[in-house]
Amino acid sequence: MKYKGYTAHIEVDETAGILFGKVLDVKDVITFQADTVAELKKEFHNSVDDYLEWCAELEEEPDKPFSGNLPFRTTPQRHHQIFLAAKKAGKSINAWMDDVIAQEINKAISQ
Strand arrangement, sheet containing 18-23: 2-3, 6-13, 18-23, 31-34
Residue 51: which of 6, 101, 98, 91 has the closest Cα?
6
Average pLDDT, integer, range 51-58: 95
pTM for this predicted structure: 0.63
The torsion region of residue 35 among left (phi > 0), alpha (psi -120 to 50) and beta comes to alpha
pLDDT band at 36 (very low <50, low <70, confident <90, very high): very high
Q: pLDDT value at position 13? A: 93
Name the residue type at position 61.
Answer: E
pLDDT exceeds 80 at position 89: yes
- What are the Cα distances from residue 52, in Å, to 5, 62, 109? 12, 6, 32
